[in-house]
Amino acid sequence: MNVQTIRKKFLDFYAARGHAVIPSASLVPENDPTTLFTGSGMQPLVPYLLGEKHPKGNRLVDSQKSFRAEDIEEVGDNRHTTFFEMLGNWSLGDYFKKEQLPWVYALLTEEIGLDPTKLYVTVFDGDADLGIPRDDEAIKIWEKIFTEAGISSKVAIIGSEQKGYEKGMSEGERIFTYDATKNWWSRSGVPENMPDGELGGPDSEIFYDFGTEHDTAWGAHCHPNCDCGRFIEIGNSVFMEYIKRGGTFEKLAQKNVDFGGGLERIAAASQDEADIFLATDSLRGTIETLENETALKYADHLESFRVVADHLRGAVFMIADGVRPSNTEQGYFVRRLLRRSIVKVNKVKPDLSIVTLVPQIIASYQSHYPELQSAQKEIEEQIQLEETRFKATLARGLSKLEKLLVRHTDTSEVPAEDVFEIMTSDGFPRELVQEILHEKNVRTQWHEVDALVDAHQAKSRAGAAQKFKGGLADSSEKTTQLHTTHHLLLKALQMVLGDQVKQRGSNITGERLRIDFSHGEKLTDEERAEVERIVNEKIGAHLPIVKTVMPKEAAEKLGAEQEFGQKYPDMVSVYSIGELDNAFSIEFCGGPHVENTGDIEGVFRIAKEKASSAGVRRIRGVLE
């Protein structure tokens, strides 16, 4: 089956079991300080896993666009991609293991038609030190499922991944237990790494066996979690029932199910095709286009064709979600994807523009993601602009690198700082630098280069973390007070300066708020004083802060303020200061807020006001 068919079957299967189909969230997370991108289906749903009521109910299903930047260097083998779709079904305090595991098995074997004898499952082995037991309940459910299917259901107690390589698999073993490094899920990884307040729980993964010969380079014996390529994980049911508090694990008030299934990987299993690039419609389409345009065969250029197919698809989706190529934050990764693609294409056909590959990608997804077609012109323009810039960059980078080589002829080694400068400031790809240095028989200390690059990326991520939740640095009490004050300030500016004032950026810490807003002139002393008076008046009025979840169209009709450049889902959270039908201000927002303006401690004062950019002013405000 192709990905379009599998996606529809998955959504229909769970819709028939009382699940509301919800749209994919943006690739750029709105309320998550831990990552630059949405990398799993659960990220947009954390408030509901914690107990907040979802407007569509307690059974949900979706196909979530996801991007994992850490996998960029892994792309090139037959199964790693950066962009992917994660099929997800959710129980928010409703059903649990005894419903979920039989359902996902029925979906895979009856609806999608996978051979059950090729399915193997893993469960959590427990952690005595943390007081979390082995998941015997899941083991018993799987034993029943396989026994009823006429399949041997022996349990293998493995433990660590390394022990898996030592023990291997015995005949009839179908259910394997692993430690927390393999069968525990949280955004922070293993339980020990989870910060206070983080959700997590044991999981049960499903693997498909392609039956390929084991590669002993990975270990002496094969097992489901072996990386040799024989087994591929196609789905993971996370039983989200723990929260970490004070270093210990407490049960959540509600037990949740969080299933994630890789759409492309399930497609590969359904075709018994170990190469995910051939099993996925859009990736295969890009490869076929490359073959036609270059007169070269995929089999002879596996790594290059896979990188182009994956990276260009990821860039298309990110640009559609509002990300533009740049040197910082999310834009850095769009630029990196595009530039790596350009380098690979240049190697096989220098006069081929990567823009010619875009229409096929959009056509393969537009039935489920119509926004791609709507944004096609902008996507192609952004990619064309980046390609033009990068080709000029390549010429400059080559010239600079040649000068460096001449300068360091005697030592036959280019300093890591110079290589890092070319790679970051000039955007020159690592693989191209490596290739040229190798040709010239010149070295550099790549571990030093990598350390500089890692530090640069960490700084970029930290910058992005300051923007989460509408620009909040954290969710402390003082930051929350200043966030609500920020709403009051925006409305006050509109009242004093005119309705044309719109927010153009924000950043809020526990010490101050900062707002960028559209206005061409410096505030007069009278305007400044009136803005402060309005804000403080509303703080003293003890107005309630009311959160309402409603359709986006309804919020727009109410005139709710929207963050500039932000894309919103069909259902949105709206915060009003005052009751919704008589509110002082109404904004699209992800929170958090105080419950009442009277909870804001101190007197608001504009500490500084200056120009931020053409037509945009910046105010720093404090509560004293």
User: pLDDT at position 468, please?
Assistant: 39
The whole-number average pLDDT for the span 69-83 is 85
- Would you state the structure tokens that stand for residue 382, as one six-digit string? 């952004």
Q: What percent of the chain has pLDDT over 90?
A: 58
More confident residue, 261 or 612: 261
Alpha carbon 333 to its chain centroid, in Å, reads 12
pLDDT at 33 over 60: no
User: pLDDT at position 471, please?
Assistant: 53
User: pLDDT at position 613, please?
Assistant: 67
Mean pLDDT lowest among 83-92, 115-124, 453-462, 578-587: 453-462
Per-residue pLDDT tens digits for 466-494: 443 345 555 678 888 999 999 999 999 99
Per-residue pLDDT tens digits for 506-555: 888 888 999 989 898 899 999 999 999 999 999 999 999 998 888 888 88
User: pLDDT at position 329, please?
Assistant: 78
What is the Cα–Cα distance from 607 to 595, expressed in whole angstroms?
A: 25
User: What would the DSSP string read from start to end of 430-460?
Assistant: HHHHHHHHHHTT-B--HHHHHHHHHHHHHHH
Per-residue pLDDT tens digits for 299-309: 999 999 999 99
**SS3 of residue 5 by DSSP:** helix
547 dihedral zone (left: phi>0; alpha: psi -120 to 50; beta): beta
- Would you state the structure tokens that stand for residue 192, as one six-digit string? 């020990």
pLDDT at 80 over 80: yes
- Would you state the structure tokens that stand for residue 403, as one six-digit string? 């000068």
- Would you state the structure tokens that stand for residue 4, as one six-digit string? 């379009």
Q: How many CA atoms lie within 13 A of 266 on its CB side?
A: 32
pLDDT at 312 over 60: yes
Please provide the CATH number assigned to the domain covering 3-278.
Answer: 3.30.930.10
How confident is residue 451, by pLDDT bands cut at 50, 70 and 90? confident
* Pair 51, 243: CB distance under 8 Å: no
Mean pLDDT lowest among 33-37, 97-101, 103-107, 471-475: 471-475
The whole-number average pLDDT for the span 138-163 is 96
pLDDT at 205 over 50: yes
- Would you state the structure tokens that stand for residue 440, as one six-digit string? 């010239």
Please state the pTM of the whole predicted model.
0.71
Tell me, what amino acid is at 381? E
- Would you state the structure tokens that stand for residue 467, as one six-digit string? 């923007």
What is the Cα–Cα distance from 303 to 609, expressed in whole angstroms?
A: 52
Tell me, what amino acid is at 277? F
Q: Which CATH superfamily is domain 468-623 in?
A: Threonyl-trna Synthetase; Chain A, domain 2 (3.30.980.10)
pLDDT at 416 over 70: yes
Per-residue pLDDT tens digits for 242-253: 998 888 899 988
Tell me, what amino acid is at 16? A
Pairing of strands 59-67, 20-21: parallel
Element (H, E) at 586: strand 585-588
The average confidence (pLDDT) of the chain is 89
**Beta-carbon contacts of residue 473 (< 8 Å; ≥ 6 apart):** 465, 466, 479, 507, 508, 509, 510
User: pLDDT at position 199, please?
Assistant: 86
Per-residue pLDDT tens digits for 186-203: 877 888 888 888 889 999
Alpha carbon 603 to its chain centroid, in Å, reads 39
In the DSSP assignment, the letter for residue 580 is G
User: pLDDT at position 400, please?
Assistant: 82
The whole-number average pLDDT for the span 129-143 is 94
Element (H, E) at 313: helix 302-320
**Beta-carbon contacts of residue 400 (< 8 Å; ≥ 6 apart):** 422, 426
Question: Any bridge partners for residue 122, and if so which?
Answer: 176, 205
Q: Which residue has the tokens 């990567």?
A: 354
The whole-number average pLDDT for the span 602-623 is 88
Question: Any bridge partners for residue 256, and if so which?
Answer: 92, 240
**Beta-carbon contacts of residue 67 (< 8 Å; ≥ 6 apart):** 27, 37, 38, 39, 82, 83, 84, 314, 317, 318, 333
More confident residue, 27 or 31: 27
Specify burial of residue 227 (Cβ count, 10 A radius: 0-12, 13-18, 19+): middle
User: What would the DSSP string read from start to end of 362-385?
Assistant: HHHHTTT-HHHHHTHHHHHHHHHH
What is the Cα–Cα distance from 277 to 152, expressed in whole angstroms?
A: 33
- Would you state the structure tokens that stand for residue 264, as one six-digit string? 């492309």
What is the Cα–Cα distance from 279 to 543, expressed in whole angstroms?
A: 56
User: pLDDT at position 426, please?
Assistant: 67
User: pLDDT at position 474, please?
Assistant: 58
CA angle (438 as vertex; 437, 440 as ends), nearest 5: 65
User: What would the DSSP string read from start to end of 195-223?
Assistant: PTT-EEEEEEEEEEE--PPP-TTS-SS--
What is the Cα–Cα distance from 175 to 153, expressed in whole angstroms?
A: 7
Specify burial of residue 208 (Cβ count, 10 A radius: 0-12, 13-18, 19+): buried
How confident is residue 565, by pLDDT bands cut at 50, 70 and 90? low
Pairing of strands 616-623, 513-518: antiparallel
Alpha carbon 435 to its chain centroid, in Å, reads 31
User: pLDDT at position 461, please?
Assistant: 54
What is the Cα–Cα distance from 607 to 367, expressed in whole angstroms?
A: 51
Per-residue pLDDT tens digits for 329-383: 788 889 989 999 998 998 889 899 999 999 999 999 999 999 999 999 999 999 9
User: pLDDT at position 3, please?
Assistant: 93
The whole-number average pLDDT for the span 235-241 is 95
